[in-house]
Amino acid sequence: MADLAPDDYSLERVKQNNSHFSHDPKTGHFVLDPSTLRTTTVDKKQARDQRAAKLAEEYYDFVSPMYEQGWSQNFHYTPLSPGLSIADSMTKYEQDFAKIAGLKKGMKVLDLGCGVGGPARNLARHLGCEIVGVTNNAWLVERGQALTETANLNHLVKHVLGDFMHLPFEDSTFDAAYSFEALCYSPDVSVVYKEAYRVLKPGGTLAFHDFAMTDKYDDHSAEHRKIKNWIEYGNGIMRMPHVQDMRDGLKAAGFGQTIFHEEDMGNRSAPGPWYFGPAGNFFWANNWADLVKVFLMSPFFLFFIANRIYQVLIFLGKRPKEVKMVMDTMWYCCRSIAIGGKLGIFTPLYMFAARKPDHEDKRG
């Protein structure tokens, strides 16, 4: 991780990220200040939005190097395709996603929450469209630019520092916008959808897949609530949206009558489930690279190997105690996602595609 980490990467980043949460030993939940979840005034709403942005930025500051080395430059899950590795399944999935979204050569496309730009480079290379990626994390911009330059795609892919809740672009700038597992970091997804609506040209398309609690999620179930809470904590999300929140948000943004695709893309995964990696299921691995990915995400590695090694190193004074926070966070991330996926109450791959009406008076 050291060769990828930003210059100011330190355990202070870990402390900052975890400081947003406090642990309740009675329930096992990680608790955010309730005032950040419900707002009654403009000032409180702005404070909540700022805290959500800060939480997401600090989370990705300290996990991005691990994601890139342990998973890939594409910071999202993928449905498996028969006979393909995780990496090849991901490439195929992104191209299938782009086909549904209607992305084509010659378009100017916005990537909302672009990470280090893995999907943008794949789609720009495959389609020949111009892609502008926006993220609120300075290190992701710097790292993404370096990777794009190495791939000789500077003429097609740009990386911009900005907040997707307040996009730094003029109205009606883009032919299309897309996102992979990023919009859920907003405390109110409708705000991001409205911003996407604003910067899209009339007739432009917004397509995304995102983390969501499905219609099988029961808020009256203590088990379901705990899993949801652990997913939020392990992934640095302030408030996990429900699928219905997405539908309502798109309607509020102006896309209500123009949704042309809605699907849990995780259901396309075959022969194995999309969550086989975080579940630590080696059976569905197609090559050595897959085996390594699954091993690094498995509860066996995170709890019985990495955690134990760091406990010894901390005891010997070779590592500061805050290192354990990193391992704990990754454990909650992987275990909660695997359990939520198995129960069918959570998916990271819920897709919507909608079109901005050609005329503003059709909004609704």
| Residues taking part in catalysis | 181
Q: How far is residue 314's CA from residue 336's CA, in Å, rounded to a whole number? A: 26
Q: How far is residue 14's CA from residue 10's CA, in Å, rounded to a whole number? A: 7
Going by the DSSP 8-state scheme, the letter that residue 302 receives in this structure is I
Q: How far is residue 161's CA from residue 247's CA, in Å, rounded to a whole number? A: 28
Side-chain half-sphere of 66: how many Cα atoms within 13 Å? 15
The H or E element containing residue 330 is helix 323-343
Structure-block tokens of residue 217? 């999620």
Q: For residue 350, is it left (φ>0), alpha (ψ between -120 and 50) or beta?
A: beta
Structure-block tokens of residue 135? 């993220």
Q: How far is residue 147's CA from residue 129's CA, in Å, rounded to a whole number? A: 18
Q: How far is residue 87's CA from residue 121's CA, in Å, rounded to a whole number? A: 14
Q: How far is residue 76's CA from residue 118's CA, in Å, rounded to a whole number? A: 10
The H or E element containing residue 208 is strand 200-213
